[in-house]
Structure formats: C-alpha cells, structure tokens
Amino acid sequence: MALGDTYRVLGLEWFQIHFTENPGMAFGMEFGGDYGKLILSVFRIFVVFFIAFAIRKLIQQKASYLLLTCIGLIFAGAVGNILDSVYFGVIFSHSGTFHVPEVATFMPAEGGYAPALYGNVVDMLYFPLFEGFWPEWVPYFGGKYFLFFQPVFNIADTAISVGVGLAILFYRRFQRELDPPTPVASETETANHAPTI
C-alpha cells in the first residue's frame, strides 16, 4: 500500500485499513523537529524500562491477573510503538507524501529513510462510524462538519488505550489491592496511648 491508500475490510464503509505514518505522538502531535523525535524515542524507552520494573514488582507482590493485564497491555503497546520508531525507518524506503505517495521498499539497497530512533510509527486502523453537521445551537461547533471516529491508530495504540481504560475503570479495586492494610490497634495499645488530663 502507498501512503494514504485505503482498503475497506469486508467491504464495510465504517472499518478501513488506511495506511498513514505518524512522525510524533498520539494523533500526530509533534514537537522540536529531529531533536524532539529523539527525545520522544528515548523517553519511550525509559518508560518501557520503568513499566517492566513495575510489572516485576507487581508479580512479586502477587498482584491480581486483572492488574497485571492492564499494565501488560500498556507495556506491550509502548514496546510496539518503540519498535516502529526504531526499525521502520531503517528497514523501509520513504513512503513519499500524501500528494506524491510511493510504495515503500523493504530493505532497500541504499538503506532506509531514517536512522534508528527517528522512524515513523505506522497507523492503519480507521473507523469512520458516522458523519454529519453539529446543530446550529452548539457553541463554537454549530453548523460545522464532524466525522466520528476520525483518528487513525494502530494495534499498539489500542493496547495502551484498553490498558489505561481498564485501569481507570477498576482504579478503586487496584488501589485497595496495592495499599497495605492499616493495622488495627488493640484495646490495650489504645488505653496506653490515651491522653491524660
């Protein structure tokens, strides 16, 4: 597929494979050009090591499978995006631009389009579920066109989103699981520490 090409899964309008490359963070946000890209890649690697350390500690504490699954999904998604940014630019030629798309070549003789840590992350899942216009009475957006769901994302992003969503949903349960129980003072200890008048 060339950059911007779309394939309808099972002929469905609302489920498409849409090939795009994301040079930055979620939803294509970028900062700082090449230095920003390098800082982002190194930051992702540090976060992955931190999450791996946290998973190891949680296993030692015999955390629930649900908590380990949440953290594991976030870890797997982060690793997937790191692998894309580390290797995609090294092993593929440039995909062109949306105006002049090209089909990338795997392992080109002249080398990839970017050095390690500078590659783009590939996004491909696109779910344009419905579209329309905002009602006129809606402040700021009134009368404007909208498409839901517009972002294009990948399986790694899905893993991170599901992991974070489950963590938010079961936050109180995880908090009780991770917080050590407060010891209950016996009646004698309470009597000994009672203030005297």
Classify strands 16-22 and 130-133 as parallel, antiparallel or unpaired.
unpaired
What secondary structure letter does DSSP report for 103? B
Q: 21 has which bridge partners?
A: 122
Catalytic residue among 5, 84, 157, 179: 157
What would you report as the CA-atom Rg of the chain, rounded to the nearest whole angstrom?
A: 24
123 is catalytic: yes
Of the candidates 92, 154, 151, 149, the one whose C-alpha atom is nearest the C-alpha of residue 122 is: 154
Catalytic residue among 34, 84, 123, 179: 123
- Note whether 78 and 41 are within 8 A (CB): no
Lay out the sheet containing 152-153: strands in order across.
Answer: 6-8, 16-22, 121-126, 152-153
Q: Which amino acid is at 48?
A: V
34 is catalytic: no
- Report the C-alpha gap between 2 and 147 in whole angstroms: 23
- Per this entry, what is the length of the chain? 197
Positions annotated as catalytic residues are: 123, 157
